[in-house]
Amino acid sequence: MYQELAITSDEALSLDELPKRVVILGGGYIAVEFASIWRGLGANVDLFYRKELPLRGFDDEMRAVVAKNLEGRGINLHPGTSLAELIKTEDGIRVLTDHGGEFMADVVLFATGRIPNTKRLNLEAVGVEVDKTGAIKVDEYSRTNVPSIWAVGDVTNRMNLTPVALMEGTCFSKTVFGGQPSKPDYKDIPCAVFCIPPMSVVGLSEQQALEEGKGDVLVFTSSFNPMKNTISGRQEKTFMKLVVDAETDKVLGASMCGPDAAEIMQGIAVALKCGATKAQFDSTVGIHPSAAEEFVTMRTLTRRVTAAVKPKTNL
């Protein structure tokens, strides 16, 4: 029944007409991005997810910023809630939640994740091993247990991002055809969630830095109204964050939610890949006026935390 009444992101890209009422189940990239798209086009959007905040796995403080911005854009958030039943009616799809809520929708999108599409490959016939999700098992060079067969990209379920698949393919090509054994490097990979406004991150979140036992962690944050919002009157702040190792001064992670976040974070990613320190960030002259300059002018410590202290939010 769900397959008859709900769609995935594949069908969401080929709808015949714009829905006026949308229900989305999920709190990841796809759910948040499509919620932003449909709301931006004027639809009423209800977003349901199981956790307290969307975008599980990202920095908790940044997740809270995104949630606040989604609400500010008029998206109805329903944390800790799932869907229990979908019923087709003359007026659309009646959606019942596990908390007893009832909603009407023209479109229901399930954005709860994907599993690797490997069943049709007949891998069993050649003895290629897969895990319980169907992902192809590979070593650090992307080789399967069958020496002549290699696999890269989402089908291996390592880090499911298009540029990562390209990196894996490049390393495969160098290893097999170039005579240069190359391993994909998954450290400090930048990524972005294209909600409105977008969020982009690179390196470790505050929580990850503490979990990895980095010792004392210094957190620098900045929140401000983008210049373009001053003209439009939109009350939506840009939020930036740097996570720094207190002992080495090395910048462990950077995050931003605001206009042009992905464009700015690409340059910050180069700095982290080179092992930049906070002192080097501070010694860099900013481009004025720009939002990006804030990353090299955040000199006031927001908080110092250790693994024994639960990180606080600044919101």
Q: Both tokens of residue 23? A: 């229900």
CB–CB of 24/34 below 8 Å? yes
Q: Which of 235, 257, 262, 244 is nearest to 298 (CA)?
A: 244
DSSP secondary structure string for all residues of 32-83: HHHHHHHHHTT-EEEEEESSSSSSTTS-HHHHHHHHHHHHHTT-EEEET--E
**How many CB atoms are closer than 10 A to CB 225?**
13
Angle 262-75-55 (CA atoms, 0-180°, nearest 5)? Answer: 45
Give the active site residue among 132, 187, 288, 299. Answer: 288
- Does residue 120 sit in helix, strand or coil? helix
193 membership: H or E segment, kind and range: strand 191-193
Are 207 and 283 in contact by the 8 Å Cβ rule? The answer is: no
Instruction: State the Cα–Cα distance between residues 130 and 124, nearest whole angstrom.
Output: 9
Retrieve residue 83's tokens.
Answer: 């869907």
CB 105 within 8 A of CB 7: no
> Is 288 known to be catalytic?
yes
The amino acid present at 222, given as its one-letter code, is S
Phi, psi angles (nearest 5°) of residue 243 = -115, 125
The three-point CA angle 259-168-202 to 5° equals 30
Element containing residue 165 per DSSP (H, E): helix 162-176
Asked if residues 257 and 62 have their Cβ atoms less than 8 Å apart, the reply is yes
Q: Looking at the annotation, which residues are catalytic?
A: 288
